[in-house]
Structure 1
């Protein structure tokens, strides 16, 4: 129960971490999406503002080319006023008026209104000074006469290359603000700040004429001289920003995401603000949908589980009788299986007993055959000795014959002793002590034993082994016994195929090689003999199997060798070489030992071993 609670706690923390990571990722994704959309929006507002102002930029320049209009303004201003009114109505501007070089207005489209510009001097306005300098004039300000803000654009009228008058068009920008108010939603704000960071257009009316940064003395003097904002105060807007998050600003305790664009108008800046709360609203909407889906899923699971439970209950009630019958049937089958298993165990015991008797019979027959011949010969020799004893009194008795008979009896006894010793191996095969053995030394010992007889038979013996120790867990004497048996087996196979009983040529050979891999040591004994037929290979390692004449061999050497290798967790098998001859292969596991001193000692003996 405690482990289950721990797993639940771990699962809760993992789920919380994944949820927090997803929330953080979604927040950044929504923020990036909002900033990208906002940049598109501010570009749209900038293009709309530029297009709206560009509609009127041409008007003063075109009218400045109309010499008749200015002749009327200088000589017949009443007619000029009417012409300006006609141009004003066709161009949809707020007013058009003409000023002479001293700044006094001599003709205006609103001459007949109480706030007429005629007779007023606006020489202090920047747009007038720019036109006198033969430049296009642009200016935003509050009307000195009407107190209505507008965008003023002017152009000089030239006569003989000199500026003689200035024509001005005033454009109201309230329609642009109305369009902003229509398009903005959810707390979005658009405003334009002039070159002095004074807000001159805004969708929030209470931000109008607020400054984004404090005005210096030069800016204050210029604004007052130009009467740009009339008597309107210019308070500092409560705004804070974070340099590490340039897109985020806080205005009057409200946090916004801001994008800024620069329209091609008098160094103005257009600002597009979106409340940062939209990110939280999107996150809330996302998690609300997730929770609703989870609740719906949970409700569906509960409904399905209830339906399944009711269905299972009805099914279980309907199948209860069938289950009881099935249980009774299974109980009978289990009882029958138990009886069959008891019979099977009895049959297996009987089969093992029969197999043992068969093996004992085979072994007894082999022993009877192998021991019977020496015993029969011994009876013959004993009978001969009895006859010799009876003839001992005769003059023609030959003692040497009795000595020869006794010698033959001794040989037969030795043969019987050898048979019993080899048979004893099978009864005591599991109690052999093993030590750390260098296979190179075991090979050297076996070669020392067999090399004289091999060379005497005229067979070339080649030994291939490395310089490094190859360590296995075994008994050295038993390993030497295996290698000696295999070497003698190869020698006898070669000699059996020789017509003279020896091999006095270089064509007959035996090769003993030692190789090692990461896990195993491999000994190969190859010869140039006749090889091993498929029929013989099946029984080659069986006890008492031999291809030699009776009395020459018992057929236990390869069987004993195989058992020794198996006890050492190795393998022994024979293959035929493709070019003729047999190849016996021994595979033994390499010893896994950290006994560095023993390894170093073996390496110290390397030179001596190589010379053996």
Structure 2
């Protein structure tokens, strides 16, 4: 009966297998098509970008050559003399302009007097000669008179052919005598671009096409193209932009070919999977017939389950031992740090004790003499004893083992306690200390003893790093966020080497001769237990070391 039920479930699963195969046969070619099309479009856009830059440089070179022609003719003595004489149809100058036009491959070169009338032109001997025509109304003529140079793209009034007019003023004796004009037509350039199937367009500042591989688009807006189907490059010293159209249809053909290949591969994989599935079903039938093997397997599974249970219990015990060892390691590090501040504690206690003794002796002497200052000395003795009690209280609190309870802790109290524990070393070395104002109600999620452990570790490291330096200084910066508080502790020490920075939070890695290399590791673990972080930062002034302690903000 169980065998019949198993056969029915296997037959029921076959339609799902067919459905999955059909979904893969659709999804894989579709994904292949999109990825291949994107890659092909990227390659085509790169090619079009190179073509656009190359063609923009070629156009720029052509325009520079024609501008140079106008600039050279503007200082030609024969041109200046022709303007002085105002002789209409100066054949010698016209012949010279015709020779230059042929050498520079410009369309036409002509000379205008100060009123805009053409007195010489390279086409002087042709029916469409410009000589005698008035061009004072043209924009390029007015620009050249006003600023020395001018240019305008438009249709010729005589020839009716479009082109770019480049104008340059001709000056003599400090006065503008006239304007030399070079007209450039781009028929050859457009014919060269037309041999490329990708369309090439040059648009002016209004967005109209002025030069194109498709001349019928001239003086029309740029035709619409799909997204990513156009690559543009600027033309230097003009408001023009050269655009090259990306052949997106080629990317579609490549993507379709790749999708077809993926579909064929998916179908072949489906056939192979069907054959493998049939073989596996035959093997499964033989396996189900081996009842004895199944019984042995069940016994082996039961034995293995029992062994895993024992292993899990051993692992839990090991984890508990590890947690205890970590707690002991934290306490050991705190005691080691406590040893470092013992000298400071002795200094802080001995000075008040000496003062107490002196004042007590003075007080005794004054009592004998019944002098009035006795009360004042006794008050100072009380103040000194209070100070000793405060110092010993902070040391006892620091050496106490942490409870592990995370709660709201006053950040200012923790910083002040840590500063008191390290105050003697700071005063002994004349170390400057920059501490920002910390609001008394600013609290973080932490445990007071372990938070002081982190701060003492960081302050002690800052002290050690500046041992023997002429300008020791410790800076604490506070940055309040809505969810977290950043406390940055930096120093003026020699900084941290690249090798040490890479392994700074690795156990037993230290550059101190007497260090264990555990303080920063334990401090980071404590910060992470609070839900915060401890990391090293590059110092703002490019010197010393800087550590940032991030703690979650408490309500």
Fold-level similarity (TM above 0.5): no
TM bucket (normalised to shorter chain) is 0.3 to 0.5
| TM-score, scaled to structure 2 | 0.44
Q: Which has the higher contact order (CA 8 A, sep 6+)?
A: 2
What is the TM-score normalised by the length of structure 1? 0.40
